[in-house]
């Protein structure tokens, strides 16, 4: 997808608070190209920045979908106070809207986390509010992780959430990924009765990527983003 295929969510932190863009100055994931997309917080403010795919039939998607990408919590001003994530089923075009988010928690070391809630909050610590699942393994800063979030809307209104990862050491970018369930993160069913997550499931919406920050010089990186919609 090209840069023009993405639009910033409304009400996000502006470029004076969080710089963002494509750069060749940061080493990418194994097998990656010369460029990646990065965020760098410039002020000690709290909030989020997010981009969604603005293509026809994607803004919004009528059902669920699948989003894949490489994420990293980069080295910077400290090991906490920020989190990168992929999202699906965002209910509007604002960071204040709710979505399903899969990414790296605001912990040291961090974990892979699946959360349902406002994009503006991002991913808190692995046991924070709205967290549905967390990985068994933890990761150090500057670790690239290749993740995939599947959101499958069933005919009865249940939404099936699957968190998968690809081992970049064994299957670098440019080769066929081998997607496996993230260890410790079993399939989650957001039931149409609102029991398992405490609220009604999200059955349509926008997909994209972003980051939340709470402090200055917090850096997150993304590469090899792919988005598919359920038909």
Tens of pLDDT, residue by residue over 139-172, are 999 999 999 999 999 999 999 999 999 999 999 9
Average pLDDT over residues 183-193: 97
132 phi-psi bin (left φ>0, alpha ψ -120 to 50, beta other) = alpha
Nearest to 224 by CA among 174, 169, 189: 174
Give the mean pLDDT of the chain.
97
Q: In residues, how long is the chain? A: 231
Q: Residues 122, 127, 130, 136: is their CA dihedral positive or negative?
A: positive
Q: Which domains does the chain show, CATH number per domain?
A: 3-229 (2.60.120.560)
Average pLDDT over residues 20-45: 97
DSSP state of 182: P
**Tokens 């809207």 appear where?**
97
Phi then psi for residue 145, to 5 deg, are -130, 130
Confidence of residue 4 (pLDDT cuts 50, 70, 90): confident
- Token pair belonging to 207: 């997909």
Confidence of residue 1 (pLDDT cuts 50, 70, 90): low
């Amino acid at each position: 997808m090209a840069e023009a295929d993405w639009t910033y969510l409304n009400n996000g932190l502006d470029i004076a608070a969080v710089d963002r863009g494509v750069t060749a100055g940061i080493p990418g994931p194994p097998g990656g190209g010369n460029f990646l997309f990065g965020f760098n917080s410039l002020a000690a403010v709290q909030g989020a920045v997010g981009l969604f795919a603005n293509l026809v039939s994607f803004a919004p998607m009528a059902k669920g979908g699948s989003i894949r990408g490489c994420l990293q919590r980069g080295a910077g001003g400290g090991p906490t106070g920020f989190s990168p994530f992929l999202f699906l089923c965002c209910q509007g075009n604002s960071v204040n809207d709710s979505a399903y988010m899969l990414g790296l928690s605001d912990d040291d070391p961090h974990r892979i986390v699946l959360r349902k809630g406002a994009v503006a909050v991002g991913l808190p610590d692995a046991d924070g509010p709205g967290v549905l699942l967390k990985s068994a393994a933890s990761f150090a800063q500057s670790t690239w992780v290749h993740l995939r979030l599947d959101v499958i809307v069933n005919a009865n209104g249940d939404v099936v959430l699957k968190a998968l990862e690809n081992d970049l050491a064994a299957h670098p970018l440019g080769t066929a990924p081998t997607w496996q369930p993230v260890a410790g993160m079993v399939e989650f069913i957001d039931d149409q009765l609102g029991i398992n997550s405490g609220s009604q499931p999200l059955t349509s919406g926008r997909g994209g990527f972003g980051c939340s920050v709470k402090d200055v010089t917090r850096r997150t990186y993304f590469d090899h983003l792919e988005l598919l919609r359920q038909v």
